[in-house]
Amino acid sequence: MSGDSDCTRTSPSAGSPSDTELAPARPKYVCSLSPDLVTKAREELQEKPEWRLRDVQALRDMVCKDYPSLGTCLDDAFLLRFLRARKFDYDRALQLLVNYHSCRRSWPEVFSNLRPSAIKPVLESGFVTVLPHRDPEGRHVVCIRPDRWSPSQYPITENIRAIYLTLEKLIQSEETQVNGIVILADYKGVSLSKASHFGPFVAKKVIGILQDGFPIRIKAVNIINEPRIFKGIFAIIKPFLKEKIANRFFLHGCDLNSLHQNIPPMILPEEYGGTAGKLDISAWNELLLASEEDFLHDFSQLVLPCESTPQEMLVSGDAEEKQCDDSLRGMKAQLYYCY
């Protein structure tokens, strides 16, 4: 993956022909979208195949002009993720890319040594996995099961690391970039003590990443088996949610028929009233763990240098925790009330 030196050779106008000849060639982008997905991308994301590379170059030029020390990959395929996530709005795509790096810089507990082998215990627990079949809209379903986590074994940040790596793997697919994903969260067995780990500080960080710091389209969040305590959890989350995302939350309780209105039984495991067999986490775990070398390569470059840190994006952990103290006290009281 390319580093910050890429900006010295991005645009033909940035150097002489000899500079270009000396620069290593970028991987040539080859579109893997089907004709139907090309049409969908045009209609929903404003992506025009005939202008695609021009748009990528425009974003690349903006990065090199405004954030020359960002240290980001500037390959066509990588930048396309951000353009698609922001419907080819250059300014919004650039901000998303900067946020992507800023989030990584501001939360070292999550992003240091981030690789599949480092979160193997989380994967083996079944806390997060991806169902083997896509839904009728071509979207992967990410299944999260908080009851599989034992706080005594590792901190909540390990779960967040596992979710982040799962999303990084999924977003490598152009099909996912266009179609987005669906989340299925099973809150069966979530206790008061476990819920208290997800305070305002963690909630704000996670939602900030998913809404404004990662190039993925979350099309629906289906919550099932939520206990009464989830009212308290959702009360923590909701203030940080944009209205569009908040409207994509669906609370089904124990009603599997309600869930099946959003996710068809044919792709669901038996545990959720589906016909796709028992939930098997091994296939996804093997796929993610087999990507170890890819992640070591990718994440070795994605570090935001201190001198180019956008101050408006970065708030120290201590400062944020202090800001959240009052909210945390109120949250605990609310959780006890709901419980």
The percent helix, strand, coil of the chain (3-state, each to 5) is 60, 10, 35
- Encoded amino acid at 94, one letter: L
Which SS3 state, helix, strand or coil, does residue 92 take?
Answer: helix
> Is the per-residue pLDDT at 215 higher than 80?
yes
Of 253, 274, 292, the residue that ends a domain is 292
The pLDDT value given to residue 190: 84
> Is the per-residue pLDDT at 333 higher than 80?
no
218 and 98 in a single domain? The answer is no
Total tally of structural domains belonging to the chain: 2
The pLDDT value given to residue 35: 97
Taking residues 62-85, what's their average pLDDT?
96
Question: Residues 28-52, buried b or exposed e (16+ Cβ, 10 A)?
Answer: eeeeebeeebbebbeeebebeeeeb
138 phi and psi angles, rounded to 5 deg: 80, 20
pLDDT in tens, 129-180: 999 999 999 999 999 999 999 999 999 999 999 999 999 999 999 999 999 9
Q: Which two tokens stand for residue 173?
A: 């697919």
Lowest mean pLDDT among 134-143, 183-192, 301-310: 301-310
User: Could you tell me if 90 and 55 are in contact, meaning their C-beta atoms sit under 8 angstroms apart?
Assistant: yes
Assign residue 81 the CATH number of its domain: 1.10.8.20
Domain residues for the domain of 100 are: 35-106
User: Could you tell me if 105 and 146 are in contact, meaning their C-beta atoms sit under 8 angstroms apart?
Assistant: no
Q: Which two tokens stand for residue 39?
A: 């049409």
Taking residues 63-76, what's their average pLDDT?
95
- Specify the higher pLDDT residue, 197 or 224: 224
224: Cα separation from own chain's centroid: 21
158 and 276 in a single domain? The answer is yes
The pLDDT value given to residue 298: 60
259 and 174 in a single domain? The answer is yes
Is residue 8 included in any domain, yes or no?
no
66 and 128 in a single domain? The answer is no
194 and 244 in a single domain? The answer is yes
Taking residues 86-103, what's their average pLDDT?
97
The pTM is what?
A: 0.84
Q: Tell me the average pLDDT of the chain.
A: 84
- Encoded amino acid at 197, one letter: H
Could you tell me which residues come within 8 angstroms of residue 195 by beta carbon, excluding any fewer than 6 positions away?
229, 232, 233, 335
Assign residue 270 the CATH number of its domain: 3.40.525.10
Q: Which two tokens stand for residue 229?
A: 């305590």
Of 106, 124, 154, the residue that ends a domain is 106
Q: Which two tokens stand for residue 249?
A: 């939350």
The pLDDT value given to residue 50: 97
Is residue 321 included in any domain, yes or no?
no
- Residues 324 and 339: their CA atoms lie apart, in Å, by 22
